[in-house]
Amino acid sequence: MSPGLRLAALLLLAFCAHRASGADEVTPAQQSRMADVAVRVMPIGRIMEMAAAENPAWPGSADSRLDAERLACLRGNLRAPAYRKVVERRVADYARAEPARFAEDLTVLEGDAGRLFAKLMSAGMESKFSGSENRFDPTALLKDETPEALAQMVLLANDPRYTPLRAMLGIGAQIVDGESGRKVGQAAGLTLMLPALSDAMTVCNVRFEEL
């Protein structure tokens, strides 16, 4: 092969490699959309604000050693914007770890699967924090949904191929029924809330033993 042809071949290979690598790049806009939908699917920010509204000592206990100033600091840093930052970090990590599947997973969460998942998770978490766990009825919540939408939700909840996506959402187990869904949702809530609490404690100079 002549030097000119060899150079042309190398340039073509480099161009193809660049195009191939770019195909899996996750854009900032995609990451922002994923954060938007993840916040809806796992509404921890709203749950934290509900807990704060119901309990003036939250996140501390009634006999905590926190002074009023640091308690106010903690509560101010445990609102929806703080949770959004936690989600954005998880989404950025996911984009770096799973660029090839990011676009497909985003489509799944923005569709019926994510919508129904959000409906169940929101109801399950709110039932836990409001003390109405016995009134959580997944069947009643989903009774008007189409079979196609329900099938998509079941895939998101159970299919092994969505294990990485569920993990990004803080869900460490498959959901096989309403009871397991409630428990998984509550565990996921803690998984996602703890980083926000840790960040707030650092900002407000609070130790765990003071809560």
Please determine, for residue 33, whether its predicted confidence score (pLDDT) is greater than 60: yes
Please determine, for residue 181, whether its predicted confidence score (pLDDT) is greater than 90: no
How many Cα atoms sit within 13 Å of 186 on the Cβ side?
Answer: 14
For 184-192, what is the mean pLDDT?
76
Please determine, for residue 19, whether its predicted confidence score (pLDDT) is greater than 50: no
CA distance 120 to 182: 8
State the pLDDT at residue 72. Answer: 93
> 52 and 75 in contact (C-beta within 8 Å)?
yes
pLDDT-based confidence at 172, cuts 50/70/90? confident
State the pLDDT at residue 23. Answer: 55
Tell which wins on pLDDT, 186 or 81.
81
For 165-192, what is the mean pLDDT?
74
Query: Which of 59-63, 162-166, 184-188, 191-195 is least confident?
Result: 184-188
User: Alpha-carbon torsion 180, 109, 161, 155, what sign?
Assistant: positive
State the pLDDT at residue 161. Answer: 93
> 164 and 99 in contact (C-beta within 8 Å)?
no
Tokens of 151: 């099938």
Measured CA angle at 192 (ends 187, 195), to 5 deg: 130
pTM of the model: 0.79
Please determine, for residue 115, whether its predicted confidence score (pLDDT) is greater than 50: yes
User: Where are the chain's structural domains?
Assistant: 27-210
Tokens of 28: 């900032």
pLDDT-based confidence at 14, cuts 50/70/90? very low
Environment class of 38 (CB within 10 Å of its CB; exposed 0-12, middle 13-18, buried 19+): buried
